[in-house]
Chain A
């Protein structure tokens, strides 16, 4: 709470007026109760506050810029390229990087520049969609569990306790075996157990908030249930969700790459970074550049997400340690 104190300040003990200033020159200032609540500075949301802190973290900002540039390339490079990701050209197969083919061509003469950016696009898309799906299921599950409480919460938590024991990657592989290969399948398979962490975090955060003074005060003042959720619980949970998403995206990209690498992910001629790394690995002796460029691309993306995620965590949740 901020006071507009200079003019309105009323001392507890009336000060004796100096002899040369007659008391009748003064008059008591009017006290307006609404002025006491006046907030001099503009209100910042928690996210804006976090942004201010994040801006100071140079490494995180650089990584954010790199990720934006990569995303733009992933969107536009395949469109602007004169080649497509699936067109084969047997006259130009296994060409090392040159001006015409900056990243070379593969064993079918497909342009690696186009394929790598197209693969990056698919990988980013899978990461984003999987993270959003986890967010959707996890937030609803966690919030319902925490808000209703009691027996419902107990049952929902037992279900989670059973699911956390499931090794994520193994189950995803099993599901990929029975489902037809494709982007949607991968996202669905990854979401079967992927949302559990998000649900746990959201539930823990809401439970923590529910017991805090400002929520009790709001309840005491008669805030309705819906307003309580939208005004007090959601804004204070957003930072936890954002941080979790920043770690869920690279994790989904990794899982997809892993699946494609062991051969249960996307099928040719579709490309993702995992497919490209797998192709490159098979051609390692003949055309090492086929492995190195997609490997660099995935490493760059993962490192940037990692640094940006750490930065966001420090910025949005300063109380949390490392």
Chain B
């Protein structure tokens, strides 16, 4: 009887231990997965914003001064995110952002000059 109780206690301890290990590993895996998933969306967020802002260059002349100012501010907000990218991506996207922002600033300036 004593042995049976002791055996049962050991079994319960082992099951509880395994359960705890399993739970911890599941949580750890979840944390890893979520950090990977977070890295990707962050990457996708700047790219999505970049695509949205710089897809409008061909219609730049149709925007109001307020819209152009807003687009310039959005370009400025993208700059620190692009500066954090790896070297190759940074080379390409810094140049593209500069051209995109430059065009909006150019059109804004032209509109201001036309009003004078």
- Chains A and B come from one and the same complex: no
